[in-house]
Amino acid sequence: MSALQSAVRSHAEAVQVSRTIDYLGIFIFFFVVVGSYHIHAMLTMGDWDFWSDWKDRRLWVTVTPIVLVTFPAAIQAWTWEKFRNPWGATIAVLALLFGEWVNRYFNFWGWTYFPINFVFPAILVPGAILLDTFLMLSGSYLFTAIVGGMAWGLIFYPGNWPMIAPLHVPVEYNGMLMSIADIQGYNYVRTGTPEYIRMVEKGTLRTFGKDVAPVSAFFSAFMSILIYFMWHFVGRWFSTVRFLKQT
């Protein structure tokens, strides 16, 4: 057979085949990212994400955006550069949220009976939309790193506040002041997570009390810029099409 011979028999079939490949490619990419991003996420910020009583103003606000801007940056370096597809960051966080929600619902609640309003994951979509739109409108990774990375960090706590605020209402519980979230952690017994390994804000003598969340968010935003830079290159490395020649 000649190499010039076509693999398809009509223009319509070529279009149809290419659409089928789109669907298969999206499925493949999405679920590999679910696995890969989820492993990265649960082992770098998982403990804050699992429990409402870890969702504090200092550590959670800092750690989560910084470690999670990684995959959006890498995937944007692929989707935008190779396909001019402006959905890279959103694909990443939708994949992660899919993996987390299925698991919290069917396992944390479905298998071991922790209430969903104790083990819900953090909201990430607002920051991802900002990252994607900044890249699409500016067409610049530099701009996206600085302004988008900043926005990704700053929007995190406001994006989550509507969900966690009801759990921060104070209660006098056996003579002590506790938030609803504290009481959740106290009531729904976790055998492997004693109170003292909970890494949350505990106050310091150098802290001005009420500014903790915004200061943490700005620090997180600044770090997200650096991580975005690094991981955008990671995305390029992983987009390699090289072949290793046997020597």
Partner 1 sequence: MAATTAGGVEAKEQPLLNVKWLTFAFMLYTVFYFWVRWYEGVYGWSAGLDSFAPEFETYWMNFLYTEIVLEVVTASILWGYLWKTRDRNLAALAPREELRRNMTHLIWLFAYAWAIYWGASYFTEQDGTWHQTIVRDTDFTPSHIIEFYLSYPIYIITGGGAFLYAHTRLPYFSTSKGLSLAYLILWTGPFMILPNVGLNEWGHTFWFMEELFVAPLHYGFVIFGWLALAIMGVLLQVFASISNLIGKDLCPDIPPAQR
Q: Which parts of 192-231 interact with partner 1 (CB under 8 A)?
A: 192-194, 197
Listed residue (187, 215, 188, 190) closest to 201, CA to CA: 215
Closer residue to partner 1, CB minimum distance, 42 or 212? 42
Write the CB contacts of 132 (distance below 8 Å, at least 6 apart in sequence): 76, 86, 87, 88, 89, 90
Least distance in Å: CB of 83 to partner 1?
Answer: 9
In the bound state with partner 1, the residue whose beta carbon lies nearer, of 13 and 211, is 13
- Considering only 147-155, 174-182, 191-199, 205-213, which stretch makes contact with partner 1 by CB under 8 A? 191-199
Q: Which member of 60, 71, 156, 228 binds partner 1 (CB under 8 A)?
A: 71
Give the one residue of 66, 69, 73, 74 binding partner 1; rule: CB under 8 A: 74
174 touches partner 1 (CB under 8 A): no
Binding mask 82-121 for partner 1 (x = CB under 8 A): x----------------xx-xx--xxx-xxx-x----x--
Q: Closer CB to partner 1, residue 6 or residue 174?
A: 6
Q: Ramachandran region of residue 242, left (φ > 0), alpha (ψ -120 to 50) or beta?
A: beta
C-beta of 124 vs 151, nearer to partner 1 = 124
Nearer CB in complex with partner 1: 208/243: 243
Question: Which whole-number Å values give the CA distances from 40 to 25, 68, 80, 245, in the listed order?
Answer: 22, 8, 22, 31
| Ramachandran category for residue 36: left, alpha or beta (phi over 0 → left; psi -120 to 50 → alpha) | alpha
Stretch 136-155 residues interacting with partner 1 (CB under 8 A): none
Least separation in angstroms between CB 220 and partner 1: 16
User: In angstroms, rounded to a whole number, what is the distance separating the alpha carbons of residues 184 and 170?
Assistant: 12
How far is the C-alpha of 116 from the C-alpha of 103, rounded, in Å?
11
Q: Which residues contact 154 (CB under 8 A, 6 or more apart)?
A: 217, 218, 221
